[in-house]
Homo-oligomer: A and B are copies of this chain.
Amino acid sequence: MQPSTFREIQDQIQAFVEAREWGQFHSPKNLAAAISVEAGELLAHFRWLSEEESNDVVKHPEVRAEVDAEIADVLILTLELADRMGIDPAEAVRRKLAVNEARYPVDKSRGRNVKYNRL
């Protein structure tokens, strides 16, 4: 099978939304709120686990399937928001990676949690 492009997936999302005439509810504000809700549902699976336990979630098919669905929800809404605002998601990612590359040069950032760990 050919690897999926962002555009193909976004077209499938759009077809789903249009068939239900749900675009009227999907203002950028509402989509951004819905992304936070789904990100919270994703985090719910991990909040009380240790980091090591979170690494083991992949070995548990039932939990993994639920995480799979939450990852999908975050992606669906974020790709729809991008579409709605005329933002190419692949381009946005590349732009942000370039910003991050300048901000975190390899030689100063390697193996160091520089940004957030000020302890």
Contact = CB atoms under 8 A, between A and B. Distances in A.
Interface residues of A, number: 89
Interface in A57-116: 57-58, 60, 62-64, 67-69, 71-76, 78-79, 81-82, 85-87, 89-90, 92-97, 99-101, 104, 106, 109-111, 113, 115-116
A118 B63 contact: yes
Contacts of A71: 78, 81-82, 85, 87, 89, 92
B119 A57 contact: yes
A109 B33 CA distance: 21
Interface of A: 3-9, 12-13, 16, 19-22, 24-25, 27-30, 32-58, 60, 62-64, 67-69, 71-76, 78-79, 81-82, 85-87, 89-90, 92-97, 99-101, 104, 106, 109-111, 113, 115-119
